[in-house]
Amino acid sequence: MAKIVNMAQHFRWGALLRFTAPSIAMMVFTSIYGIVDGLFVSNFAGKTAFAAVNLIMPFIMILSTAGFMVGTGGSAVVAKTRGEGDEPRARRYFSLLVYFAFTLGVVLGLLGLAFMEPVAALLGADQAMMGDCVLYGRMLMATLPFYVLQYAFQSFFVTAGKPQLGFVVVLIAGVANMALDALFVGVLGWGVAGAAAATNISELLGGGLPLIYFLRRNSSFLRLGPTRLEWRIIGKTCVNGSSEMVSNIAMSMVSMFYNLQLMAYAGQDGVAAYGVIMYAALVFAAIFIGYAMGSSPLMSYQYGARNKREMRNLLKKSLVFVAVGGLAMFGAAQALAQPIAEVFVGYDPALEAMTVEGFRLYALAFLLMGYSIYGSALFTSLNNGVVSAIISFLRTLVFEVGSVLLLPLWLGLAGIWLSVSVAELASVTVTTTFLLALGRHYGYLGKLPEGGHDGRPRGDSD
């Protein structure tokens, strides 16, 4: 049985990395098994079907962001409440938010079914791509409520002190998805429909297994049970988690703008190349996202417990992590660009060359992106969803959209690949400004009170 981690402890490097490692692994593996659909579609159904899946995927991801919003925003609320020493209230909030997430998933799934075809047309799907776009998108709407739950539970497992179980669930869902992709797409030749069916089953597992776990008596402090409708808590969760929702919606919208620009500058090959780059980039970004997801409940707990000394410890170590991680990822991307492109589109030499060049330019962004990802998550963990949302909104929607629309006018296709790096540089400036401006208010900068606490009751210590 997985051990419950004591969040009240002082986290040295070893303890911090052990605690966040399951969340990092969970997000990386989620990204990897999400790639498998594209890998099989590209190699067994061709680049037109591959482009179709990539064209409609941003819309699907926009709908699924409800899970990120409830999970990250709700985890901050639940962890802070527990840090204040009120576990029954924390469990009541948890139950309310899980039920809310599932209901929201049902509503969004029905809307997605109704609007899939006009959205595909709006995104630029031509006659050759329209059928695959609509088929893939509508099939995924059937299990969207469980996909929303899967994302929400990824955060709640960490808050429950069971990050390892979150990884196990993702591992089960991911292995099922990959095995079924091989069967449905590779062996049976079902193409886009087979890829969607494999994803449907994996989402049922990813959202359903945690639901069963938390409905039963378990060894964590969180359990699903009776609750009451509290719009104040739902509203606080939505505001607090709005940064993650904004970030994911904006990323999906940015992908739409990228695809529109690439269709104009490079046609279907450009969209296919971007699909490969984004699949790879998601794996790299997942390391930062997983770390932020894993460390945020620790910061929320210490914020609730008023332990400013430990808040500073967590912040300093986190900034070191994103700096070293960025350098490592940039180097890895330069080395792996060629083999990654060959795996996905090696059947087309011209497309492969475009993909390699694009990925190596895009990889400059890895040097910077971890800083803003962590900064946004930090303010979510401090229950300041407004600042977190501002960072995410500016980083993705404003800076990236502006860059992808303007840079190609000057640099052509290379400007599209460099857009994200320019946006990340601007975002680092904004994030640093907020970190410095609010440091004394939250206590991670400035003079420490005696003992590292502010004198108010600390709550339980786990």
* Chain segment 5-23, per-residue pLDDT in tens: 566 677 889 889 988 888 8
- Residue 321's pLDDT band (cuts 50, 70, 90): very high
Q: Where are the alpha helices (DSSP H) in 346-412?
A: 349-362, 369-381, 385-392, 399-411
pLDDT in tens, 24-61: 887 887 777 667 767 787 778 777 777 788 788 878 88
Q: What local confidence, expressed as pLDDT, does residue 450 receive? A: 60
Average pLDDT, the chain: 85
Asked, for residue 400, whether it belongs to a domain, the answer is: yes
Distance between CA atoms of residues 270 and 268, nearest Å = 5
Q: What local confidence, expressed as pLDDT, does residue 180 receive? A: 92
Q: Where are the alpha helices (DSSP H) in 160-266?
A: 163-181, 191-215, 231-240, 242-265
- The CB-side HSE value for 241 (13 A sphere, CA atoms) comes to 28
Average pLDDT over residues 208-231: 90
Which domain range does residue 162 map to?
13-452
Distance between CA atoms of residues 399 and 251, nearest Å = 11
pLDDT in tens, 262-310: 877 777 788 778 878 887 888 888 899 889 988 888 888 888 888 888 8
Q: At what angle do helices 267-305 and 242-265 cross, to 10 degrees?
A: 170
Average pLDDT over residues 143-156: 92
- CA distance readout (Å), 381 to 92, 163, 164, 308: 19, 17, 20, 14
Distance between CA atoms of residues 325 and 328, nearest Å = 5
| Token pair in block for residue 385 | 């969803």
Distance between CA atoms of residues 321 and 336, nearest Å = 22
Coil/strand/helix, residue 137:
helix
> Measured between alpha carbons, how far apart are the two ends of the chain, in Å?
18
Distance between CA atoms of residues 252 and 107, nearest Å = 20
Q: What local confidence, expressed as pLDDT, does residue 433 receive? A: 95
4 has pLDDT over 60: no
Q: What local confidence, expressed as pLDDT, does residue 449 receive? A: 62
256 has pLDDT over 80: no
Q: Is residue 296 within 8 Å of 381, Cβ to Cβ?
A: yes
Query: 232-262 burial string, b = 16+ CB within 10 Å, else e?
Result: ebbebbbbbbbbbbbbbbbbbbbbbbbbbbb
Asked, for residue 356, whether it belongs to a domain, the answer is: yes
Distance between CA atoms of residues 13 and 417, nearest Å = 35
The neighbour count for residue 28, using CB atoms within 10 Å, is 20
79 has pLDDT over 90: no
Distance between CA atoms of residues 213 and 387, nearest Å = 34
Q: What local confidence, expressed as pLDDT, does residue 7 receive? A: 65
Q: What local confidence, expressed as pLDDT, does residue 459 receive? A: 38
Q: What local confidence, expressed as pLDDT, does residue 150 receive? A: 92
Lowest mean pLDDT among 39-48, 207-216, 341-350: 39-48
Asked, for residue 71, whether it belongs to a domain, the answer is: yes
**Count of domains observed in the chain:** 1
Instruction: Identify the DSSP state of 196.
Output: H
Average pLDDT over residues 406-434: 91
Asked, for residue 188, whether it belongs to a domain, the answer is: yes
pLDDT in tens, 238-248: 887 776 676 66
Q: What local confidence, expressed as pLDDT, does residue 315 receive? A: 92
Higher pLDDT, 67 or 108: 108
Distance between CA atoms of residues 166 and 139, nearest Å = 25
Asked, for residue 404, whether it belongs to a domain, the answer is: yes
Instruction: Identify the DSSP state of 442.
Output: H
Bridge partners of residue 453, in order along the sequence: 307
Asked, for residue 255, whether it belongs to a domain, the answer is: yes
Asked, for residue 246, whether it belongs to a domain, the answer is: yes
- Residue 218's pLDDT band (cuts 50, 70, 90): confident
Asked, for residue 462, whether it belongs to a domain, the answer is: no
- Residue 452's pLDDT band (cuts 50, 70, 90): low
